[in-house]
């Protein structure tokens, strides 16, 4: 594949989109840690210097891709039907299931999230950092609104806490749930060791569900000093 230099804003946008699409395709084959700028350049048919014309670094490419992946996930969630009936706890459990299973269906997003703080937010310009954080803030606002819509009893602050906890658990659980070949062999060798293997979906679901239950329980506690019946 060969490219001529992009001369218009639309052409430059298309080049950026092609680079991001190539990076997304590569992440279905390899983890973030193994994606190199050299291989990405080869995949899109551009010289490394030309890729750097559109993105200042490998991390800038992946951070932009993370913002796109999060946006697509949020769009998927916001298209869900209104929450059903049931107690606040039951609706919290359903929300936990939705968040966990929808994340598990997006391995590229989970891999990028797990690398965000330690890798992707380094070796970037202030301009890229500001653009990323603004996109992240917008996505967080949509996720908090979604959680509050499903379980209004959480309140705005509780919904924000729930979303933050879910994302932090996903960032931590993803690499822990992707064992190496040696660990897979260890699990296969002993049923007691196999029981220690972490399941991403179950861990995120349980953490989110318990967080929702805890927030709801705290909200029902009487205010200190208030009269009781």
pLDDT in tens, 42-78: 999 989 999 999 999 999 999 999 999 999 999 999 9
Give the mean pLDDT of 69-91.
Answer: 92
Q: Which residue has the higher pLDDT, 201 or 221?
A: 201
pTM, two decimals, is 0.88
What SS3 state is found at 36?
coil
For position 1, what pLDDT does the model report? 43
Instruction: Give dist(CA 64, CA 58) in Å, integer.
Output: 10
**Which helix (H) or strand (E) is 209 found in, with range?**
helix 200-220
Residue 82: which pLDDT band, with cuts at 50, 70 and 90? confident
Instruction: Give dist(CA 28, CA 11) in Å, integer.
Output: 26
For position 11, what pLDDT does the model report? 79
The percentage of residues in the chain with a pLDDT greater than 90, rounded to a whole number, is 85
Residue 10: which pLDDT band, with cuts at 50, 70 and 90? confident
- Residue 225 backbone dihedrals phi, psi, to 5 degrees: 90, -10
Instruction: Give dist(CA 128, CA 116) in Å, integer.
Output: 13
Domains parsed from the chain with CATH numbers: 7-55 (1.10.10.60), 57-219 (1.10.357.10)
For position 206, what pLDDT does the model report? 97
Instruction: Give dist(CA 142, CA 149) in Å, integer.
Output: 10
Q: Is residue 3 predicted with pLDDT exceeding 80? A: no
The percentage of residues in the chain with a pLDDT greater than 70, rounded to a whole number, is 93
Asked whether the beta carbons of 151 and 88 are under 8 A apart, the reply is yes
pLDDT tens readout for residues 131-172: 999 999 999 999 999 999 999 999 999 999 999 999 999 999
């Amino acid at each position: 594949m060969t490219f001529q230099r992009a001369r218009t804003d639309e052409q430059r946008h298309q080049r950026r989109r092609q680079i991001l699409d190539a990076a997304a395709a590569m992440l279905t084959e390899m983890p973030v840690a193994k994606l190199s700028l050299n291989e990405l350049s080869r995949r899109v048919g551009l010289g490394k210097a030309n890729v750097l014309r559109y993105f200042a670094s490998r991390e800038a490419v992946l951070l932009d891709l993370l913002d796109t992946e999060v946006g697509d996930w949020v769009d998927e969630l916001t298209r869900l039907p209104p929450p059903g009936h049931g107690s606040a706890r039951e609706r919290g459990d359903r929300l936990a299931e939705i968040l966990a299973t929808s994340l598990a269906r997006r391995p590229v997003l989970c891999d990028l999230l797990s690398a965000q703080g330690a890798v992707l937010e380094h070796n970037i310009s202030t301009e890229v950092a500001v653009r990323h954080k603004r996109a992240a803030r917008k996505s967080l606002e949509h996720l908090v609104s979604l959680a509050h819509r499903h379980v209004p009893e959480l309140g705005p602050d509780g919904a924000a806490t729930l979303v933050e906890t879910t994302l932090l658990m996903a960032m931590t659980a993803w690499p822990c749930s992707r064992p190496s070949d040696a660990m897979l062999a260890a699990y296969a060798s002993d049923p007691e060791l196999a029981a220690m293997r972490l399941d991403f979906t179950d861990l995120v679901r349980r953490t989110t569900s318990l967080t929702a239950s805890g927030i709801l329980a705290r909200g029902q506690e009487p205010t200190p000093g208030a009269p009781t019946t």
